[in-house]
Structure 1
Amino acid sequence: MKTIVTLFAILLITFHCSRFQFGSNQTKDETAGAVITFFQGNITISSQGKESKAKIGDVVRPGDRIVTKLGRVDLQTYRGEIIRIKDNSDILFRDIAGENRPNTDIHMIAGNLLVKSVKLKSGQNLSVTSPTMVAGVRGTVFSFELDQGSVPKVKVYEGAVSVAFKTSPKLVEINEGLSAENYNRLVKTLEENEVVLEPGERLEVNPNLNELVYLINAKVPAKALTNEQISGLIDIDSGLSKSQTVITPQEKAEAETLVSITSETIHKQIESKKENSTEKTEVGTIEQEHEAKRMEALNQIAKEAEKTGLDNEEEIHNHYSILETIHKTNGDVLSGAVVAQLGDIFIVHSTKGVYQLSVDDIEYVEYKNFKVKTRAKK
């Protein structure tokens, strides 16, 4: 006899709205926005059905979408969050905080984000979502990566990030596809699915449960979820967990390049983009402030590299987990590792010392197979 098990999606969107409140305040707020402070490569912004190429000083509003190809872009919100969208990313800004709008909600279709939050007040929220998950943060630095067809990767550098599955608010009717035992296991797993990641921790996701949540979200509204799809996902004893991970020197350095410019400059630029505004744009100021801050960050990264005192291939390889050869345009070759790169500047830690090189100084960089035999600094 055909049995019907009615599965309530345990973690309703309304639950997450009360937790993270993403997109919950649709109050008209012309200060709600994020300013492009830096970019490289081919960046496209879609806004109100129109596409344009990104420029320094552009203001991204709630509902806008950014697609990066071979490039990256840094944005700073009115509230002060710094968001770096890396290569091959597709990002929808469902909400952006403003003076009277408390939430920033970033939806990742695919790609890789690096986010530095400000310390949020009560009632304010910053969340990053994927089709299956929501990550809520308060004053932190973290990365969120999603390849299409895979599970999200979340890694925390500073602070804490709360991650949970995001499921459809509709009821799920499953005909004989899930036994009572598996139904109870699934309910328990979803009820206990939240994890809080702290510095040096990364998210571990059960791919079967991730796929099930995706099917629920994508197919339940269209009544297209089949018994075969459900019954094929039987490994549901675990959902989300966390594990220890190493924050590499390169990751630490990149986080330090998430530099902010003065809130006054950001506010003026957003104000200048209001309808009928007579405010003067701040593009030149944005470029100058960001260049000064990123050079300050790169100088500090170089100083920290020099403090390690590493001067041979083995030590450099062990520290950075990579060994590269940097071929300069003048014919010189450096053996070491690229520690950081932002804009046209590379920080290179080589056996000859630590250098700041411009892109014009470098012909190409190649990975080098590490050999135990070391070369002393010249």
Structure 2
Amino acid sequence: MKTFIAVLTIFLLSLQCDRFQFGSNQTKDDQAGAVVTFLQGNIFITTQGKESKAKIGDVIRPGDRIITKLGRVDLQTYRGEVIRIKDNSDVLFRDIAGASRQNTDIHLWTGNLLVKSVKLKSGQNLSVTSPTMVAGVRGTVFSFELEKGSVPKVKVYEGAVSVAFKTSPKLIELNEGLSKENYTRLVKTLEENEVVLEPGEKLEVNPNLNELVYLINAKVATGALTGDELSGFVDFENGLSKVNAIVSPQEKAEVETLVSIPGETIQKQIDSQNADNTDVTTQTIEKEHSEKRIEALNRIASEAEKTGLDNEEEIHSHYSVLETIHKANGEVLSGAVVAQLGDIFIVHSTKGVFQLSVDDIEYVEYRNFKVKTRAKR
């Protein structure tokens, strides 16, 4: 058994210290930060224990936490990464790249992220972690979702993402609940657990192993993990795998809306906040992001028009949804909401493709689509 303990010790220590060593650069760097470039709804930032409501131009620093309720927020780092935190998310920025800090390390407690990385240089890292998982990327666009009581979901739209379980080396002190056979299987699975996801692929996770990793990480620090809890886990053969995933037109459109503004504006905002002077730059952020949003929405609308879809069956087949959009003026459109950013909706209807403001729409109804067929005689 000591042999197996030694093997696991070496493996897990190397996993933690070398292969996925993100967010470890603690060099003081006044430029390390991310700027709020766009937001909707109620977004709250906690800095050194103090909570405040987020606004355009706020600078997020390493150690800050963001909680979104009915809202979402876009951030852009000093290095150029763009991060969208969606509704009902709880996110901790363990580290953020700056002029000298090399790492951006985002921890998702719950919720949904959409991340667009820049092309990173040697020694630079961007990682997203959850209580059980770590995803490391280089020049990519991907989503990372974690619902309470569920396994992490990772989906790649551009580039590649490597994903692995995040486990504690202290498992070796608490292995009395595992038989020798199961212990060996666990070691083998953890050694081979990394997968690399490419565009159009998503992560599949063994929920039993995910639960075990969660228990280890949550309880091992306090010595609360018992042998009895370990003994119930036997499904170790399959850890992580990947499958092909359909990328919907709505997902493609949302990726398109994840826009960035000039890096010098972001850098100026971080520098100006250091000097307690942000008004002028904040106005520039709002203007530049608005221009980029309009460009993105125009491209989305143009792509929708190119499909030439003009009846309910075709629209439903293409977007996998059919909706009734009730306009404030009483007009009713049948089609699908392709994208929504800020106060603008892109609607592909049987009457054409429209950009509608939120004030133009009374409400949207989701419909169960039925194809009428000739009645039997």
Please give the TM-score of this superposition, normalised by the length of structure 1: 0.95
Partner of 1:127: 127
Tell me how far apart the structure 1 counterparts of residues 175 and 46 of structure 2 sit (CA, whole Å).
42
Higher fraction of helix: 2
Q: In 1, Cα distance between the equivalents of 2:11 and 2:4?
A: 18
3-state SS of the aligned residue for 1:217? Answer: helix
Aligned residue in 2 for 1:48? 48
SS of 1:173's equivalent in the other structure is: helix
CA-atom RMSD in angstroms = 1.9
2:223 maps to which residue? Answer: 223
- Equivalenced residue count is 372
Question: Matched residues in 1 for 2:305 and 2:84: separation?
Answer: 27
> What residue is the counterpart of 1:372 in the other structure?
371
Cα distance in 2 between the residues matched to 1:325 and 1:345? 17
Given that 2:93 and 2:106 are in contact with CA atoms closer than 8 Å, whether structure 1 keeps it comes out as: yes
* Residue segments in structure 2 that go unaligned for 5+ positions in a row: none
Q: Deviations over 1:304-352 (max 9, x none)?
A: 0000000000100000000000000000110000000000000000000
Compared CA separation, residues 10 and 321, structure 1 to 2 (3 A): farther
**5+ residue gaps, structure 1:** none
Give the distance between the partners of 1:184 and 1:169, measured in 2 at CA.
15
Percent of matched pairs sharing the same residue: 78
Partner of 2:315: 316
| Contact 1:136-1:162 at 8 Å conserved across structures | yes
Q: Distance in 2 between matches of 1:145 and 1:6?
A: 33
Instruction: Report the CA distance shift for 1:311/1:9 in structure 2 as closer, same or farther (over 3 A).
Output: farther
Is contact 1:10–1:187 with CA below 8 Å preserved after alignment?
Answer: no
**Native 8 Å contact 1:33 1:96 kept in 2:** yes
Distance 1:278 1:312 in 2: 53
Q: Which residue of the partner structure matches residue 291 of structure 1?
A: 290
- On the 8 A contact 1:136/1:163 being kept in 2, the answer is yes
**TM-score for both structures, normalised by structure 2:** 0.95
Q: Is the 8 A contact 2:141 2:159 kept in 1?
A: yes
Instruction: Quote the offset at 1:170 in angstroms.
Output: 2.1
SS at match of 1:112: strand
Cα pair 1:4 1:173 within 8 Å, conserved:
no
State whether residues 155 and 203 of structure 1, in contact with CA within 8 Å, keep that contact through their aligned partners in structure 2.
Answer: yes
Alpha-carbon distance in structure 1 between the residues aligned to 2:42 and 2:137: 29
Distance 2:319 2:31 in 1: 42
C-alpha deviation, 1:10, in angstroms: 6.4
Distance across 2 between alignment mates of 1:10 and 1:372: 60
1: CA distance between counterparts of 2:139 and 2:4?
Answer: 42
What is the CA deviation profile of residues 221-257 of structure 1, one whole-angstrom value per residue up to 9, with x for unaligned ones? 2111112211111111110000000000000000000
Q: 1:325, 1:333 within 8 Å by CA — same for their partners in 2?
A: yes
Question: Structure 1: which amino acid aligns with 2:208?
Answer: N
Shift of 1:37: 0.3
Match of 1:232 in 2: 232
Query: Is the deviation greater in 56-65 or in 163-172?
Result: 163-172
Could you tell which deviates more after superposition, 365-374 or 169-178?
A: 169-178
**Is the 1:64–1:92 contact (alpha carbons within 8 Å) kept by the matching residues of 2?**
yes
Q: Distance in 2 between matches of 1:351 and 1:171?
A: 59
How far did 1:176 drift? 4.5
Structure 1 residues 364 and 17: CA distance shift in structure 2, 3 A:
farther
Letter in 1 for 2:282: V
